[in-house]
Amino acid sequence: MTEDEIVQAIATLCHPERGNVILRPVIIGIGDDAALWQPSRSHRSVISTDMLVEGVHFTRATMSLEDAGWRAMAAALSDLAAMGARPVLATVALGVPAAGGSAEILELYKGIAAAAQRFKVAIAGGDLSRSDAIAISVTVVGEVRPSNVKTRTGGKLGDVLAVTGELGASRAGLEIAAKPGLVDGAGCDAALQALRRPVPRIAEGRFLAASANVTAMMDISDGLSTDARRLCTASDCGADIEDVPVADSAREVAQVLGDDPARFALAGGEDFELLLAIRPRAFRYLAGRYEKRFKQKLLRVGRLVKGRGVAWRGTALDSLGWDHFK
Amino acid sequence: MTEDEIVQAIATLCHPERGNVILRPVIIGIGDDAALWQPSRSHRSVISTDMLVEGVHFTRATMSLEDAGWRAMAAALSDLAAMGARPVLATVALGVPAAGGSAEILELYKGIAAAAQRFKVAIAGGDLSRSDAIAISVTVVGEVRPSNVKTRTGGKLGDVLAVTGELGASRAGLEIAAKPGLVDGAGCDAALQALRRPVPRIAEGRFLAASANVTAMMDISDGLSTDARRLCTASDCGADIEDVPVADSAREVAQVLGDDPARFALAGGEDFELLLAIRPRAFRYLAGRYEKRFKQKLLRVGRLVKGRGVAWRGTALDSLGWDHFK
């Protein structure tokens, strides 16, 4: 296939029905020098870029190319979720080995397009290049009401620190993918799913961002330990982690490996749950509304406190030397 | 340096004075989950992504990392120029070998930031990753008045085909970089400059886009031959190329190599000049205003005609087998 033919095949994959509701704000999509869209007049725009590299973020042994495409899109969308934004469009730059040819490009795009359709984001353009290892760079643009924007900087002393789901499953998936047969059954499936098909918390992020009692929000991409420290640094405070919600699959894998399950949640990373600071008076009410809406709990993990750094059961997390777990 | 320290150093490089005029529409920049900006209410937004890979688009022998950074940003901005848009912000995803460390990341960013400052685009965010070869993916967002948007599709039979500058210098630069001493003097300098520090035609693109007599516009990234064919396919017509404006440096290098100078311009690529279709009645007047404004000529290269494909002096360009010159 020539480059122009590949671009045509990608356009068909990404927009099975042109004029699709997802494409609505996009006026010019794939195929011209740049894509054109009409931003909402009442909202602000949000942009984030994420890069996934073969041999660094994934290997062909741990996931299919379709999974890798999904994962790249999901990771980028998770950053929009963390701002409380609704996704609008995405661009995709792809580096693929010459030997893989158009087949590998289209495999990757199958996963990219599946995630884009699931989370209602139009793929509006991109670039293709040869490269020795696969590199996928996804840029996503979203929109958010000015009053709903959440950053890392607004956390206040006494705020409850909470997460949108249990942690550690993605890291458990990585162990299982590296050593098939380590555990099996439901835990195995859940962990591999968390690794290969992570779900950005778009709807949850928009819901939580609408509350004035949520003072700070971010996504957990490098583990609760590292990301809580980032939120604390930005909000100029410290955090006490009291309780770490560990996914069942992470518990199973940790048990088999003789490791501490909490470590999977604190240092594992790439869970793409949201981490929030919430005014303490408002936590119970918000958690109740959240559970009713999403049929899952908003999980309290600790509190923002005076000082710097993140402590877990009285020990500074930095001192545990878990940073190299990734 | 830790990742957070590198991000801090990048932020300082990109925004030497925070609150800078360039940053005006950007409300949240580098350092949060995503960047936030206020799009203009009267304009449409434009987005384009470009990827530059070491060993494919450049080697360390042909240019410095600073040049590679400039080139990646310039190539992305050239796509905004082709839409008639004003650049607003950019995100940068960078893959860099672990051995290069923070020094190589900051070298690349020096060039990226220099191009961003020259063309008044705010670097609002990005991502960093390890990778075996350097990969730079730049996404740029711009804005354009709805009435000024130019695409590849509007060209009409009889339109004059014109370019914003002489072609072939970048390709000549590649020959010179591969064989130092091939030519020297002003031609050598100009060719290396065209290769390493290409200038996207932002101001020229905005000026030309404001004319209703410009019916189609695109940038020349793959050579006049390939890109004129793309414009023709999109506009459902053919083109007769009558005259190919070859840069002096390309003439010099072609002469030394015993090659056809026209080939450098037609098949060389990466010149980042703009290719336009202009209503024939309006060409002289527009070219006069253009020359007065930019102190350089708008160069007529041919006409849009019935049929398909691009002919040069009566021969179909496809049949010359020049496509593999790149």
**pLDDT mean across residues, chain A:** 92
Q: Are residues A86 and A46 in the same domain?
A: yes
User: What is the model's pLDDT at position A324?
Assistant: 45
On whether residue B204 sits in a domain, the answer given is yes
Which residue type is seen at A204?
E
pLDDT tens readout for residues A236-270: 999 999 999 999 999 999 999 999 999 999 988 88
> Do the domain assignments include residue A153?
no
Same domain, A115 and A90: yes
| Minimal-distance CA residue of chain B relative to A128 | B51
In a domain, A288, yes or no: yes
The partner residue sitting opposite A36, judged by closest CB among B46, B52, B131, is B46
Check CB contact under 8 Å for B47 and A141.
yes
Q: Which residues on A lie below 8 Å from B71 (Cβ)?
A: none
pLDDT given for residue A319 in this prediction: 65
- Same domain for A180 and A289? yes
For residue A96, what is the DSSP state?
E
For helices B202-209 and B65-83, what crossing angle results, to 10°? 0
pLDDT of residue B307: 92
Q: Clarify whether residues A180 and A320 are in a common domain.
A: yes
Give dist(CA A76, CA A69) in Å, integer: 11
pLDDT one-digit tens code per residue, A107-133 = 999 999 999 999 999 999 999 999 999
Which H or E run includes B314? none
Summarize pLDDT for B184-201 with one digit per residue, the tens. 888 899 999 999 999 999
Of the residues A90, A121, A148, the one at which a domain ends: A148
What's the average model confidence in pLDDT over A143-170?
97
- The last residue of one of the domains, among B148, B172, B187, is B148
CATH code assigned at B212: 3.90.650.10
Residues paired with residue A96 on neighbouring β-strands, in sequence order: A130
Q: State how beta strands B35-37 and B26-28 pair.
A: antiparallel
Count of CB atoms situated within 10 Å of the CB of A265: 31
Only one residue has tokens 């404006």, namely B245
- How far apart (Å, rounded) are the C-alpha atoms in residues B128 and B123? 14
Q: Which residue of B has its CA nearest to A152?
A: B32
Q: Which residue of A has its CA nearest to B48?
A: A34
pLDDT value at residue A191:
95
pLDDT, tens digit (0-9, with 9 covering 90-100), for B227-272: 999 999 999 999 999 999 999 999 999 999 999 999 999 988 889 9
Query: Is residue B155 one of the residues assigned to a domain?
Result: no
Q: Does A26 reside within a domain?
A: yes
Interface test with B, best of A27, A40, A47 (most B CBs within 10 A): A47
Are residues A201 and A144 located together in one domain of the fold? no
Is residue B293, in this structure, part of any structural domain at all? yes
Secondary structure tally for chain A: helices H, strands E: 10, 13
**How many separate domains does chain B show?**
2
A36/B contact by beta carbon, under 8 A: yes
Mean pLDDT of chain B: 92
Q: What is the mean pLDDT of residues A198-214?
A: 98
Q: Is the same domain home to A21 and A67? A: yes
Q: Are residues B24 and B106 in the same domain?
A: yes
Helix (H) or strand (E) holding A175: helix A169-178
Residues B88 and B225 in one domain: no
CB contact under 8 A, A32 and B151: yes
Q: B109: which DSSP letter?
A: H
A217 shares a domain with A137: no
Residue B143 at interface with chain A, using a CB cutoff of 8 Å? no
Residues A129 and A181 placed together within one structural domain of the fold: no
Listed in sequence order, the residues at least 6 apart from B188 whose beta carbon sits closer than 8 Å to its beta carbon are B176, B182, B249
- Read off the pTM: 0.94
The candidate with the shortest Cα–Cα distance to A110, out of A54, A59, A58, A72, is A72
- Please give, rounded to a whole number of angstroms, the shortest distance from the CA of A186 to a CA of chain B: 32
The size of the A-B interface in CB pairs under 8 A is 197
* pLDDT band, residue A21 (cuts 50/70/90): low
Helix %, strand %, coil % of chain B (to 5): 40, 25, 35
Which of A148, A168, A195 corresponds to the end of one domain? Answer: A148
Taking the C-alpha atoms of residue A159 and residue A278, their distance in angstroms, rounded to an integer, is: 5
Is residue B91 within 8 angstroms of chain A, CB to CB? yes
At B75, which CATH number? 3.30.1330.10
Q: What is the pLDDT of residue A326?
A: 43
Mean pLDDT of A41-67: 95
Instruction: Report pLDDT for A50.
Output: 96
Residue A17's pLDDT is 64
Tell whether B136 and B270 lie within a shared domain. Answer: no
Tell me whether strands B135-144 and B86-96 are parallel, antiparallel or unpaired: antiparallel
**What residues in B contact A27, CB-CB < 8 Å?**
44
Contact B51 A127 (CB under 8 A): yes
Beta strands in chain B (DSSP E): 26-28, 35-37, 44-53, 86-96, 122-130, 135-144, 160-163, 214-219, 238-241, 274-278, 299-305, 310-312, 315-316
Ranges of chain B whose pLDDT falls below 50: 19, 324-326
Q: What angle do CA B278, B283, B288 make, to 5 degrees?
A: 130
Same domain, B132 and B26: yes
Domain with A207, as residue range(s), is 160-325
3-class secondary-structure state, position A13: helix
Tell whether B8 is within 8 A of chain A (Cβ).
no
From first CA to last CA, the distance across chain A in angstroms is: 39
Mean pLDDT calculated for residue range A50-57: 95
Mean pLDDT, residues A35-61: 95
Is B92 at the interface with chain A, CB within 8 A?
Answer: yes
Contact between A83 and B51 using a beta-carbon 8 Å cutoff:
no
Residue A24's pLDDT band (cuts 50, 70, 90):
confident
